[in-house]
A = this chain, B = another copy of it.
Amino acid sequence: MRWEELGEQPCSMSRTLAVVGDRWTLLILRDCFLGVRRFDAFERRIGLTRHLLADRLKKLVEHGVLVKVPYQQRPLREEYRLTEKGLALHPVILSLVSWGDAWMADERGAPIEHYHKGCGQRMKPVMVCSECAEPVGPRDIDVRPGAAFGEEVEKLLAG
């Protein structure tokens, strides 16, 4: 399966990965959430080749995750900003970082600490149910094919 096919699968995860499922893209997005916006800043911080950076930024713009916004004329210079669609990826980034903090840290602990502005405390993100607000674990969820899909998705669930 190639990248193009991936985006056409009847699976939200495949479709998401068709957009952000590569290490560089996710590192670019991490930086976007830290406020980085310019080509050369991404290049320096992430250490990927300009070639790939240009390619990944273009794809993110095509998918509507980032927009190019001019910040000066003569010569025209544009920066990359998260759209609403891009901002919605925040839980993805947060959960990746949180797993790294918990399972990949060395004896020095987490490289970065997160403080919740609302309550001022050092926090980690927790996933809860939108309906009852209880935390959800791997065994707490039942999965069923969407109404408008039928067999197509049942096969996927059954294996």
Contact = CB atoms under 8 A, between A and B. Distances in A.
B47 A1 contact: yes
In this complex, which of A85, A87, A92, A111 has the most chain B Cβ atoms within 10 angstroms of its Cβ?
A111
Contacts of A26: 13, 17, 21
Interface in A21-72: 21-23, 26-27, 30-31, 33-36, 41, 44-48
Interface in A127-159: 127-134, 136-149, 153, 156-157, 159
Contacts of A99: 12, 16, 88-89, 91-92
A112 B14 contact: no
Q: Which of A93, A122, A123, A137 has the most chain B CB atoms closer than 10 A to its own CB? A: A123
B1 A46 contact: yes
B19 A22 contact: no
Contacts of A97: 12-13, 16
A16 B115 CA distance: 21
25 contacts: A12-B96, A12-B105, A12-B112, A13-B27, A15-B100, A16-B96, A16-B100, A21-B22, A44-B159, A45-B159, A85-B103, A88-B102, A88-B103, A90-B127, A92-B95, A94-B95, A108-B148, A112-B153, A115-B142, A116-B134, A121-B129, A122-B131, A123-B129, A125-B130, A126-B129
Interface of A: 1, 3, 6-7, 10-23, 26-27, 30-31, 33-36, 41, 44-48, 82, 85, 87-105, 108-119, 121-134, 136-149, 153, 156-157, 159
